Amino acid sequence: MKCRKCTRSAVINMRQHKLALCSEHYIEWFTFQTQRFIQEYQMFDLNNRLLVAVSGGKDSLALWDVLHHLGYQVDGLYINLGINHKTSYSLLSMQKAQTFAHAQNLDLSIVDVVKEEGAAIPEAANLTLRGRTKPCSICGITKRYFMNRIGLDHGYDVLLTGHNLDDEVAVLFGNTLNWQSGYLLRQSPVLEGSAEGFIRKVKPFFRFYERETAAYTFLRGIDYIQDECPHAIGAKTIYYKEVLNQLETKRPGLKLNFYLSFLKAKAEGLFSPEAHIKIGDLHPCENCGQPTTAPQFCTYCRMWEQVRSTKSSLV
């Protein structure tokens, strides 16, 4: 398959965008799209001081890389969770973040949870939860706490995370299965800061599929930690991602559509009291008298009318 923009062979074919590109044009496309999302969702501009939370994984390092090349003032924050039992996960991921920062001459702050609180995340989880559940809740709370605190204390305007579309859609899917309205209300690529002490948070990669950020990281030669955190095994979001990938195989673009339709529905007031007005906006169908929201005829009448007319055109 050839690149859409030149005569070289394509290295990636994105079925959902009907677009195949060579290495050079893919990096160009990815960078351009990132800038487009930043502007379209009014995330930040060149005057803002940005802090990106880096885990040493592909998404956060790709985000740091692309923003640096776009000319933004962006520093990194790595939170050492002390997850080292058997796998040395935290140690290795910290090294990846440090190597990247050093090679690009970028500033990386490191928070060491053991130094701050006297216990690593797995140990803290054992102490508080007595091993009954995964350490992810305590881990998530801790990460959010330090991201917010370091961001505000050091005078950053915006905190960025590398969540991609697959991450966001898996969370949305889980929240929808359980109709967690509070989480659904807050799920957004841009969360405004608040006077009470929350920093503005944004996710510039929320419209990229995971394989798109992976391709960028690979093609740019960025070295990242490939292993997942050992505690991620068996996580619900991983299962949701698998299910969603099966759906996407049958219908390319389904994940993007699911997420963007959610944002649109929310912007139109799905979760606001005014939404009820729309439900009340019913009137009788001019043909059958059944209630409908369509301007003239109800869906039933329109559908059967279409059947009749198609059938009569065939005889």
Of 83, 13, 27, 28, nearest to 55 by C-alpha is: 83
120 binds, among Zn ion, ligand Q46, none (CB under 5 to 8 A by kind): none
Residue entry with tokens 């394989």 = 211
- Each residue 4-43 as x (binds Zn ion by CB under 5 A) or -, in order, gives -xx-x-------------x--x------------------
Count of chain residues binding Zn ion (CB under 5 A): 6
Shortest Å, Cβ 134 to ligand Q46: 6
x-or-dash pattern for ligand Q46, window 139-178, by CB under 6 A? Answer: xx--------------------------------------
Of the two residues 28 and 40, which places its CB atom closer to Zn ion in the complex?
28
Q: Is 92 in the site for ligand Q46 (CB under 6 A)?
A: no
> 166-195: string of b/e by CB count within 10 Å (b at 16+)?
bbbbbbbbebeeeeeeeebeebbbeeebee
Stretch 100-129 residues interacting with ligand Q46 (CB under 6 A): 121
Q: By CB under 6 A, which span of 1-9, 57-65, 135-143, 300-308 interacts with ligand Q46?
A: 135-143
Q: Estimate the crossing angle of helix 210-219 against helix 23-40, to 10 degrees.
A: 130
Contact between residue 83 and residue 230 where contact means Cβ atoms under 8 Å apart:
yes
Closest alpha carbon to 50 in 77, 78, 74, 79: 74
Work out how close the CB of 3 gets to Zn ion at its nearest, in angstroms, rounded to a whole number. 3
- 3-state SS class at 142: helix
β-strand partners of 110: 78
Tell me which residues touch Zn ion (CB under 5 A): 3, 5-6, 8, 22, 25
